[in-house]
Every structure is written in structure tokens, then in C-alpha cells.
């Protein structure tokens, strides 16, 4: 077991959790009865980005693109259903989720400091 890889995957998960805590707090402050992705969803997305980057080392970078497009499709459908129900057309949570996938991939690819810095900015926004 490569502890360096495990550490990077853990950082990807934690960054997702941090963004998820902030997004969950924002949703709680302005809840309109809609479901919003929260801490666990963002944690999973960060970890998915990290695992995708790890698998892309073996199977090629196209895999990471396919995973991203799959996530983007799920996020787009969720946005469409939520916007239709609530008439709230904000995209912040959806964009943050896609960015969280990228953060996970960034960290596992060896750019830990950059990933952490971007996560801090995302959480602050």
C-alpha cells in the first residue's frame, strides 16, 4: 500500500467535505424547500475525482474526462429538476460540485498545495 497515494486520497476527501460543509451551511441559510448536495455528496465527489485521477494513470486520461462528463450529467439533471420545482436558477452549488471533482483530481495528481488553496477560495465564496 502506497501511503502517499492514500494520503492524497484522504486530502481529496477532506477538501470535498470542507466545500460540502460550506455549501450545506449556505443552503440552510436560504432554504426554499429544495434538496441540496451537502457534506457527504461533496466528500464523495472529491474522492471520485481523486480515484479517477489515480485510475487515469493506468487507463489513460480519457477515463477522467468520462467520469467528469458523467458527474456533469448527474449534476445537470439534478439542477434541472430542482430549478423546475423551486424556480431557483442559481448555479453556485452545481459549479462548486464540479470544481470539487477537479480538486480531488488535482490533489491526487500531486498538486496538493494548489488544491488546498483553491478549496479555501471555493469555501470562502
C-alpha cell at 95: 459549479
Model confidence at 29, pLDDT cuts 50, 70, 90, reads low
Mean pLDDT rounded to a whole number for the chain: 89
The reported pTM is: 0.86
In the block, cell 481523486 appears at 50
Residues 6+ apart with CB under 8 A from 67: 48, 49, 52, 101
Is the pLDDT score of 24 beyond 70? Answer: no
Alpha-carbon separation of residue 53 from 14, 21, 38, 56 (angstroms): 16, 24, 23, 5
Higher pLDDT, 18 or 87: 18
Amino acid at each position: 500500500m502506497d501511503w502517499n497515494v492514500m494520503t492524497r486520497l484522504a486530502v481529496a476527501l477532506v477538501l470535498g467535505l470542507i466545500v460540502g460543509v460550506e455549501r450545506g451551511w449556505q443552503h440552510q441559510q436560504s432554504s426554499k424547500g429544495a434538496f441540496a448536495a451537502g457534506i457527504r455528496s461533496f466528500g464523495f465527489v472529491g474522492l471520485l475525482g481523486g480515484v479517477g485521477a489515480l485510475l487515469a494513470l493506468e487507463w489513460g486520461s480519457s477515463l477522467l474526462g468520462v467520469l467528469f462528463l458523467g458527474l456533469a450529467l448527474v449534476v445537470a439533471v439534478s439542477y434541472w429538476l430542482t430549478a423546475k420545482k423551486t424556480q431557483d436558477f442559481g448555479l453556485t452549488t452545481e459549479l462548486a460540485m464540479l470544481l470539487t471533482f477537479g480538486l480531488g483530481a488535482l490533489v491526487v495528481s500531486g498538486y496538493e498545495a494548489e488544491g488546498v488553496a483553491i478549496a479555501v477560495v471555493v469555501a470562502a465564496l
